[in-house]
Structure 1
Amino acid sequence: MLKKVCVALGISLMIGLTGAAAHAQDDQSLQRIKDRGTIKIGLMLDFPPYASSGPGNKPDGYDAEVAQMLADYLGVKVEPVITTGPNRIPYLLTDKADVLVASLAITPERQEQVQFSNPYSAASMVLLGPADIVVDSPADFTKYKIGVPRASTTDIGVMKIAPEGTDIRRFDDDASALQAMIVGQVDLAGTSTVIASEVQKRHPGKFEIRYVINEQVMGITMQKDRPELEAAVNAFLKEKLADGSLDQVFEKWLGTPLPASVHAASN
């Protein structure tokens, strides 16, 4: 009896492994994109200068330009799919988008759900607030109300280091969290250094980076078991990093060199 059970379990395991391997081998996602002549790319509009609404309400910014470069590389047209921070991954997993070029940081939690390319961008996550607020360590978080974009890497980063009792307020996007900080609804807002710099330019002398949470590299995102699509996206990034065009586009939009961590992670 025991022998029969072991044999049955072995057969089930082999079938499962064979099915998974066959699914990967039968991946037609890249060919479907080429046959269709378009690639559905998830893009945000509320994360300038990475992503914003340009002329004609079309996606603009670093992510949008990288998306266009990817489509050109594949020989297809971009079909923009507008997403928000919280619905980026759900849109991908329900086939509303083929890939995301949506400033999605690579984290272990997300890697359980989706497949990331090699990095194409990076940003430091920080807490921005009035110049008179002092934050020497996470222990000081409990003194303040902290606003973060819901389900963002800033949200996750703050949660990981915040002491129990920290008052974390969640908003739909970066703009809402920052506006809450500007009008005094919260004391600190979690965002990237790039966006923090834009706020500081608009409100000279009022706000400063009070704490650096972490640095995150970002990847172009697709569903798991898409090996041909993943290989094509990584080949695209390798070429654009080697010829310097990705560096040029990053500096064009963000005014700083592409972080060394992007090059290092791709080598």
Structure 2
Amino acid sequence: MIRRQFAAAALALALVPLFASAQTAEEIRKKGSITIGMLVDFPPYGTVDASNNPDGYDADVARLLARDLGVKLNLVPVTGPNRIPFLLTNKVDLLVASLAVTPERARQVQFSRPYSAATIVLYGAKAKAIKTPADLKGVRVAVARASTQDTALTAIAPEGTEIRRFDDDASAMQALLSGQVDAIGCSTTVAAQIARRAGDAFENKLVLKQQFMAVAMRQGQADLLKTVDAFVAKNTANGELGKLYKKWLQSDLPALPAAN
């Protein structure tokens, strides 16, 4: 009996952080502000303006969400590796951080319906013949550590592929431009940035993944999830998200699934 009571108490203590971190939309409204984490090294989704303030598609989506909630917005810059830890340790309320929906991440966080999409490609030197994953043997490829492109590339790369992991897309891109690597796993948006700087020296080699990005929150926040899902649905239907996507990516917002 004592052992059973001890086990029950231990379980209760283990659940305290989960329920203590639970947050509703109404609690956020009463607080009067929402803190949202976003990347600032992934233009045009996340970047900084001339005053070094967070900007980009994700920043505008976060602003739209805060406006819908009727609260002040605090934007917090995060990186690819630390964005989920920032959320889980309550440093931010939500992530609007180009976070692609994956089964692994869904075990850590709760995702809204997607608000954005991106195609992940292998982008490399034209002189390097890469037509199939088998051609990656002996090829040096840069990726942002712990990113979707890292996971997608690792899944198809044959033994002998030299995967070099960097802290962010900007560092991986610089590695390609400086000749440290032969190719990079990145979004088509990053590939377009490289093309603007390097002309036609590089090209798309392989499509690694079509990914959808969603707002992330802590597990167990059913009310907040419902609110964010309604926000995405409304602003997809009324064209507001499409306007922001067009503003930053100069293309139409891809068709988004209604759920993950």
Q: TM-score of the superposition, structure 2-length normalised?
A: 0.91
1:128 aligns to 2:123 (yes or no): yes
Find the counterpart in structure 2 of residue 63 from structure 1.
58
1:248 aligns with 2:237: no
Q: How many angstroms apart in 2 are the aligned matches of 1:156 and 1:231?
A: 29
Deviations 1:39-96 (A, max 9, x none): 0000111000001011321111100000000000111011111101110000000000
SS of residue paired to 1:67 = helix
Unaligned runs of 5+ in 1: none
Matched-pair contact (CA < 8 Å) for 2:138–2:160: no
Q: Given the alignment of the two structures, is residue 219 of structure 1 paired with residue 211 of structure 2, yes or no?
A: no
8 A Cα contact 1:133 1:210, kept in partner: no
> Any residues of structure 2 matched to 1:8-157 within 5 Å, and which?
27-157=22-152
For the aligned residue pairs, the C-alpha RMSD in angstroms reads 2.6
Instruction: Give the SS at the match of 1:200.
Output: helix
For 1:186 and 1:239, locate their aligned partners in 2 and report how far apart those are by CA, in whole Å: 43
Q: Cα offset for 1:29?
A: 3.5
Specify the SS of the correspondent of 1:56.
coil
Question: Displacement of 1:215 after TM fit?
Answer: 0.5
Aligned residue among 207, 210, 215 for 2:205? 210
Alpha-carbon distance, 1:142 to partner:
1.2
TM-score, normalising length: structure 1? 0.89
Q: Is the 8 A contact 1:27 1:228 kept in 2?
A: no
1:252 positional shift: 1.0
Gaps of 5+ in 2: none
User: Matched residues in 2 for 1:168 and 1:245: separation?
Assistant: 39
Bigger helix fraction:
1
1:92-118: per-residue Cα shift (whole Å, max 9, x none)?
000000000000000000000000000
8 A Cα contact 2:22 2:218, kept in partner = no
How many pairs align?
258
Query: Contact 1:43–1:102 (CA<8 Å) still a contact in 2?
Result: yes
- What's the secondary structure of 1:143's corresponding residue? coil
Q: 1:199 aligns with which of 170, 191, 194?
A: 194
Corresponding residue of 2:170: 175
Q: Counterparts of 2:247 and 2:124 in 1: how far apart (Å)?
A: 27
Question: 2:132 & 2:202 partners in 1: Cα distance?
Answer: 18
**Largest Rg, 1 or 2:** 1
Q: Aligned residues: percent identity?
A: 47
Q: Is the 8 A contact 2:144 2:150 kept in 1?
A: yes
Give the counterpart of 1:166 among 158, 161, 165: 161
How far apart in 1 are the matches of 2:65 and 2:200? 39
